[in-house]
A and B are shown apart, each in its own frame.
Chain A
Amino acid sequence: MKITLKILFVILLSAASVFPQQKKNTKHSMLNIDCKTCHACQYPTTDDPCLKSCPRLKMVTVYRSPDEAPAITVLNELENKYEPVVFPHRLHAQMSEISGGCITCHHYNTLGPVLPCKRCHSTERKREDVSKPDLMGAYHQQCLTCHRQWSHKTECVSCHKPKVKGKKLNIEQKILSYKQKKHPQIKEPTRIIFETEYKKGKIVTFYHNEHTKLFGLKCVNCHKEENCLRCHDVKNASNQNPAYYDTPVKIHLPKDQHHKICMKCHRENNCSFCHKNKVSETFDHGLRTGWKLNRFHKDLSCKQCHKHGNRFVKRPTACNSCHPDWKPGTFDHKITGLILDDNHSDIDCEDCHIDRDFSKKPTCNNCHDDKSFPKDKPGKED
């Protein structure tokens, strides 16, 4: 048992450290960058890339998906004193998508493979070149900058479990549980009421859920440089109290920055489109455009009708402008949920639907005096 554990451990460790080298080379040599920006020698190889120590003032990096990251990295430099630290690498990578991405930790990464911390950060504290922290400093600087802000703890044992003599390590169990761990679904605020300094309309109501649902936006589409603390601080009111967003909040960014985000889409709207004197209601297609969405259209995403990206141009309301195959004689009324009986299936559409306006309630008056819709139905419901 002990041996298998050991083997498993070694495999995991080596997997974690070998991982970056296994990836496909992105042929960065073809890019228009002087090799000497990063490499010190003339013929760098995979084994010895002879990288210069962080010479790049501007970070050169390529986008890498969090799924490329190893699920777990085991940090076991202090094996004499502490149990290994199981670091859910991929989970962090996934979360980093909305807060800076891989380069948050893999700063000064090359265009080549992702380099593990050890590649640049020496394990020696007493060393010649102290321009970058040693491995212990590097790890702690990365982890604690965020973690201490929400745990408000800095003691060693908050991350490192002291090693107890004679106690068996259940590290593989920890690895398994961490592997299955997923970031919980982020609770999305319904709306945020901003209190602005614009005198003619102080209140801007931002319906968060509407924007994500209607426009099919992912978190990363808007949230790119978020601080983990936005959610992870236990002292932060907005995490604890869902009613937090029911009261107006003062704008937290400079005015221009807020505008920049909204203006990406609301370029053609005037000030009063967003700035009101009271909290505005959710978007209602009927109220805003005069064309109420019926039960079939309600569930469609905006893009299914408004196909021009995020520009919402008014669409013609005639049915066959979207449904070109709906023609008298061929239209199967069944899809509306009402199967017409024989008497009604052959009459003209406009006999019931005045002016062929199918968004309005049909009438029975054209033929009947004593019938009305929806009390009486010209057929049976599907």
Chain B
Amino acid sequence: MAAQNRRDFLKTMGIIGVTAAGFSTSTTKAQEKFKLSEDRIGVLVDTTVCIGCRNCEWACKKVHDLPAGSLEEYNDRSVFENKRRPDEHALTVVNEFENPDNVLLPVDVKVQCMHCEEPACVSACIVNAYTKHPEGPVTWDSDKCIGCRYCMVACPWQIPAFEYDKAIQPNIMKCDFCYDRQQEGKLPACVEICPEEALIFGKRRDLIEIARQKIKREPDRYVDHILGENEVGGTSWLYLAGQNFSKLDFPKLGTDPAPGVTEKIQHGIFAYFIPPISLYALLGGIMWINRGKSKSKEV
């Protein structure tokens, strides 16, 4: 709840900022588009294939030096009773949903950072701790981070987590697409372990083509929607599903890149310091008027 309140508070502040920005600045521009490679990679998640074995959760923790326990512990399907979110202890989680077409075949959905094509977290970060690599992954640098957590607010998928329980040098935690492993020519840990190859790793443009083919071949199996193809300007991780994505707890997002919004707000607030100054001037003015009123009443 606390986070939600914080979010609401920031939203309100944002709205004020935008309004202020609207008055004062038309010169601010969104950051130039991120440099992306033609061959940038991605992962296509076929939720109709995933069986919810949660091997990916285990593998992810293993390679990120998080306490993982034994693989057998992940056979426990009772965790599906609650919907989980990726957090500082698990960078990816699998949730299970009821399948309206077949109660015996539940739908399992892996959640992790989507690695947006135009990531809001990167734009929101005021110290450049985030990097959008041309190959696709969005990574985060512990040495630069000041812990402002703007990225957490900016993310349209609500992914970055913060190590609140660490007093000294808490980290922002999110999926890094196993960038280091990829540099070594390895697959991301989750993709490598998936027994079903429900996670298809490849070039993003190939994956979109494959997803389209799958929908075309089995129109009864899939809804005609590749999540992440256009959402918030496109994401590296793409999803296929047999039902509407809103039923699988995905937020409904437009096709406009998220940074455009966050940057406008930020740049609006801070451009030449005009909006803060005018805001303070406005507040000062109100105070001054009220002061006069209360004085006149006293007299």
Contact = CB atoms under 8 A, between A and B. Distances in A.
Interface of A: 57, 125-126, 130-131, 133-134, 136-138, 140-141, 144-145, 148-150, 152, 154-156, 229, 233, 235
Nearest to A148: B51
Given A125-B191, A130-B202, A131-B210, A154 B52 contact: yes
Interface string B192-231: 1011111011100011001001001100000000000000
26 contacts: A57-B216, A125-B187, A130-B201, A130-B202, A130-B210, A131-B206, A131-B210, A136-B197, A137-B195, A137-B196, A138-B197, A140-B195, A140-B196, A140-B197, A141-B49, A144-B51, A145-B105, A148-B51, A149-B104, A154-B51, A154-B52, A154-B77, A155-B72, A155-B75, A233-B104, A235-B104
Interface residues of B, number: 29
B197 A137 contact: yes
Contact of B104 (A57, A130, A138, A229): A229
Contacts of B53: 154-156
Given A149-B104, A150-B104, A154-B51, A125 B202 contact: no
Contact of A126 (B72, B187, B198, B213): B187
Contacts of A149: 102, 104-105
Interface of B: 49, 51-53, 72, 75, 77, 102, 104-105, 185-187, 191-192, 194-198, 200-202, 206-207, 210, 213, 216-217
B181 to A, nearest CB: 11
Given A154-B53, A155-B53, A235-B104, A57 B196 contact: no
Contact of A136 (B72, B195, B202): B195
Contact of B197 (A57, A125, A148, A152): A125
Nearest to B192: A125
A133 B202 CA distance: 12
Nearest to A128: B202
Contacts of B186: 126
Contacts of A57: 216-217
Contacts of B202: 130
A300 to B, nearest CB: 44
A144 B52 CA distance: 11
A54 to B, nearest CB: 9
A138 B102 CA distance: 22
A137 B52 CA distance: 14
Most buried by B among A130, A145, A149, A233: A130
Contacts of A148: 51, 105
B177 to A, nearest CB: 15
Contacts of B196: 133, 137, 140-141, 144
